[in-house]
Amino acid sequence: MRSRWPPCRVRHHRRCAYTARRDRPGRRTGACVARGYDPHEIEPRWQKAWDAADLHRADEEGDRPRFYALHMFPYPSGDLHMGHAEAFSLGDAVARYAWARGFEVLNPIGWDSFGLPAENAAIRRRAHPAEWTYANVETQAATMRRMGFAFDWSRRLHTSDPAYYKWTQWLFLQLYHAGWAYRGDASVNWCPNDRTVLANEQVIDGRCERCDAVVTKRTLTQWFLRITAFAERLLDDMAQLEAYWPDRVLNLQRNWIGRSEGARIVFRIEEADEAIVAFTTRPDTLFGATFFVLAPEHPRARALAERGGATADFDEYLDQVRRRTEMERLATEGRKDGVFLGVHARNPVTGERMPVYAADYVLMEYGTGAIMSVPAHDQRDLDFARAHGLEVRVVVQPPDTELDAASMTEAADGEGVLVNSGPYDELPWRAAKRKITADLAERGDGEPAVTYRLRDWLVSRQRFWGAPIPVVHCEDCGLVPVPEADLPVTLPERVDLHAESVSPLAADPDWVRVACPSCGQESRRDTDTMDTFVDSSWYYLRYCSPDRDDVPFDREAVRRWLPVDQYTGGIEHAILHLLYSRFVTKALHDLGHLDFVEPFTRLKSQGMVLMGGAAMSKSRGNLVEPRAILDEYGADTLRLTMLFAGPIEDDIDWADVSPAGTFRWLSRLSRLVDEHTGSGGTVEAGDAAAGADLRRATHRTIAAVTADFEQFKYNTAIAKLMALANAISDALRGGVRGPAVQEALDAVQVILAPMAPHVAEELWHRLGHSDFVLRAPWPTADPALLVDERRRIPVQVDGRVRDAMTLPVGASQAQAEEMARELANVARHLRGRRVARVVWVPDRLLNFVVADD
RNA sequence: GCCGGGAUGGAGGAACAGGCAGACUCGGCGGACUCAAAAUCCGCUGCCCGCGAGGGCGUGGGGGUUCGAAUCCCCCUCCCGGCACCA
């Protein structure tokens, strides 16, 4: 059907909403009818030009200062989502700003391309995981190019490439040789659905982080990395991150590491010639310990039960406990169960015999797996004592309440003064802690100790799509690491992912069979692959020299670029990825491979992108995809909308923002430039004072916006650019022409370029420049233009603003008062009242304080 | 329970370091242009009283410090994030 409207005359893309509207009249129109602003023409054109000039390649030579801008690399699960769009918009703004500030910038990109989703997709599609993975990588790469991100594509990497995971395996062997990778039995988290073990960090509320299945415990022999050996340094080195990382992230890591100070105390078992060590943070309550509890999995528990004649009870309890899921275990909180082992531990200070129990409220993984129980001062112990009829004895008297041991239901776990504690009576609890610990140490019955909540990092995965653990199991030689020369241990090209009983690699006998590197006899490869967080724990090093096949990273290049100057990424990686990377960096440092101990000097985390208050998802029907926005408005609008929405660390609700509004502004800016360049000549035809006002506005904006960029406050930076654009518009309307306008528009483009690079580039060229805007130096504010000649001073009477006056800067109080008293409204409020005092804040405010008498 | 962060117009948010609360944007209302619509441009837009000049109230609630508090102090409510049978 032929439209009765004339066709849009403006040269623009067919997706322009004007056209779309004619085709589909019911459709709510976007703003895309702007004369002169056609992102669908501008954006590809400049992307091509940048590529042709190799503009974003990081130069290894040259003597400009270097800046490593890194954004967390994506996992290729389909196309980029809105979260990626925001995150990379931030990362790209950081990188482009660094360029403008004169740095040589490294802004690389790659993919975290190993992982379980590829395997699940492969099972559904009966294809190799690589197929799905690399197809998604290409999709994401294409969208990134449309977004116009200034990546150095020549350094692109994928963790699933053998050329990369060869060095992930090298890293594993480095840790192994240093004794920081070990195989151990442990009660581990097992996801029955994904049929693999999980790291502690991947279990959320007793469920699998990935698939939400209820996690159970299994005792298996697995590979661990000894991150706990670095716990103290992971805490201590936060000192150097404090000013540069979000407090929130450091706080999360501190919580996660969970350092607690206390003592290890030795308790001798009455009926056996042995001693069990317990960890406590409250050695001051030792006189109140009335029983003793072991974790059911404690290595000595069964032997003690045997000695106490409680074997049957113990076995039954252990069996019951083992069948519990984590969730069931937690559900027993408050109604403690456990079993008496028939033996007694001697309290080293009171000499009393304390019954020994096994109960699963004591965890084998924490402390020593054994505790002294002080029911009066620990809620869990009190619950247990009440359930089992055990004695409660108050030994720390809190300052404000009277405790009754017989009836108390809430343990007093706070401060107080010692009672019922022999020689320690009347000591404040903190002093008693130190004293009792010291006395025990002197007698050999204990020592000060620190325990961490952090566990060693479980890295074995019984999955296919990951880096194989480069170890051979030989009957004679035991564990034999694969020699470095034989790396990488590559994945088999064909794989059956449907094997139910064993992991995919174990199901491939040809792959498993290998000659022992040590003795040559037929042996078996380790069939586990590594947690993908191992892959991502060192990728920032690989970007320095991604093509080297003889070393994981070129030491000189690492020296040139690292540590990362500015790392950006999602808060969801506050613990896992960031903690692992910090650990690996420290380990490689200690092994002499790096000369720094923290990989990321500065960190900024962006918030999430929501839609209607909820996470976007296809099933929820609130999914907005970057491509849709790109199609309608282009990359600059999408990027700028994200950055304008609010502080970058806050969540964005897409329902609250307006890409149409952003698009309108870019169109307006574009028209402003055209209006200026078409206004003819560079003659200052306008009012000289108005021109000077515009120049002051320009320089004030430069100064303020620069401060904003330094603090990642892009939302306010954009607001200030908008305000300057309004000022330019007013100036043009007021007849101002020429250099003042040119200067203002130039500044806007250079400042806008990190956030909306295509339109800034286009307008920069329309303004008469021939080189790329990326090569233009960041504008500097002229201090002389930051000072006002006159200022508007509010006048208050008794703290309430009654009027305002304009005074020259530096005016005296006398001048100000004189002028203020003549203001009609001020005079009115002062009439008949006595001025008791005048507050004069030079160049800011005048306040008459009146006395009513 | 412990640790951390919040609460400002209809919405997102702004306010250096205690000094005109609400920048900038979205939305809304009115006007110009148009046969009409879109787009564009101009103006208004915290609430209440008032024709107006102007006045009162106002940054989750209550108290305090101060000439002056969104901002500092104390108490409280609610929201978000993390940790949590961790001895």
ipTM of the complex: 0.94
- Kindly state the average pLDDT of the residues A571-591: 91
| Bases along strand B below 7 A from a protein CB | 3-5, 11-15, 19-21, 23-27, 36-42, 53-56, 67-69, 81-87
Enter the tokens of residue A217: 């415990």
pLDDT of residue A8: 37
CA distance A259 to A451: 6
**Least confident among A199-203, A550-554, A639-643:** A199-203
- Kindly state the average pLDDT of the residues A346-350: 91
Q: Position A382: which residue type?
A: L
In Å, what is the separation between the CA of A730 and the C1' of B12?
A: 26
In chain A, positions 346-365 with C-beta closer than 7 Å to nucleic chain B are: 360-365
pLDDT of residue A442: 92
CA distance A517 to A165: 20
CA A349, chain centre distance (Å): 47
Q: Which nucleotide has the least CA–C1' distance to A370? A: B87
DSSP A791: E
Arithmetic mean of pLDDT over chain A: 87
Are the C-beta atoms of residues A544 and A558 closer than 8 Å to each other?
Answer: yes
Enter the tokens of residue A614: 């909820």
pLDDT of residue A501: 59
In Å, what is the separation between the CA of A252 and the C1' of B84?
A: 14
CA distance A548 to A542: 9
- Kindly state the average pLDDT of the residues A722-735: 90
pLDDT of residue A70: 96
CA distance A283 to A285: 5
pLDDT of residue A21: 35
Closest C-alpha among A397, A445, A432, A444 to residue A281? A432
pLDDT of residue A34: 44
pLDDT tens digits along A583-627: 999 999 999 999 999 999 999 999 888 888 888 887 778 888 999
With 80 as the cut, is the pLDDT of residue A317 above it?
A: yes
Asked whether strand B has any atom less than 7 Å from the CB of A796, the reply is yes
Q: What is the pTM of this model?
A: 0.89
In Å, what is the separation between the CA of A464 and the C1' of B69?
A: 62
What are the angstrom distances between the C-alpha of A397 and each of A44, A384, A414, A428, A437?
A: 75, 21, 9, 9, 19
Asked whether strand B has any atom less than 7 Å from the CB of A334, the reply is yes
pLDDT of residue A774: 94
Residue A612: CB atoms within 10 Å: 12
Q: Which nucleotide has the least CA–C1' distance to A839? A: B67
Highest mean pLDDT among A491-495, A649-653, A691-695, A753-757: A753-757
Asked whether strand B has any atom less than 7 Å from the CB of A660, the reply is yes
What are the angstrom distances between the C-alpha of A155 and each of A78, A107, A288, A568, A818?
A: 22, 9, 63, 18, 69
CA distance A240 to A760: 37
pLDDT tens digits along A777-802: 999 999 888 887 788 888 888 888 88
pLDDT of residue A208: 76
Asked whether strand B has any atom less than 7 Å from the CB of A282, the reply is yes
Q: What is the CA radius of gyration of chain A?
A: 35
With 60 as the cut, is the pLDDT of residue A49 above it?
A: yes
CA distance A319 to A806: 85
Highest mean pLDDT among A327-331, A355-359, A452-456: A355-359
The residue ranking higher by pLDDT, A298 or A323, is A298
Asked whether strand B has any atom less than 7 Å from the CB of A679, the reply is no
**Least confident among A216-220, A382-386, A408-412:** A216-220
H helices of A278-342, where?
301-307, 311-323, 326-331
Asked whether strand B has any atom less than 7 Å from the CB of A575, the reply is yes
CA distance A215 to A204: 9
Enter the tokens of residue A82: 């809105």
DSSP A564: B
Enter the tokens of residue A620: 């929820």
* Torsion A76-A104-A60-A599 (CA) sign: negative
pLDDT of residue A1: 31
Asked whether strand B has any atom less than 7 Å from the CB of A36, the reply is no
The residue ranking higher by pLDDT, A159 or A806, is A159
With 70 as the cut, is the pLDDT of residue A3 above it?
A: no
Phi, psi of A636 (to 5 degrees): -60, -40
pLDDT of residue A19: 36
- Kindly state the average pLDDT of the residues A334-354: 89
Closest C-alpha among A96, A385, A467, A411 to residue A285? A411
In Å, what is the separation between the CA of A797 and the C1' of B48?
A: 23
Indicate the pLDDT class of residue A502, thresholds 50, 70 and 90.
low
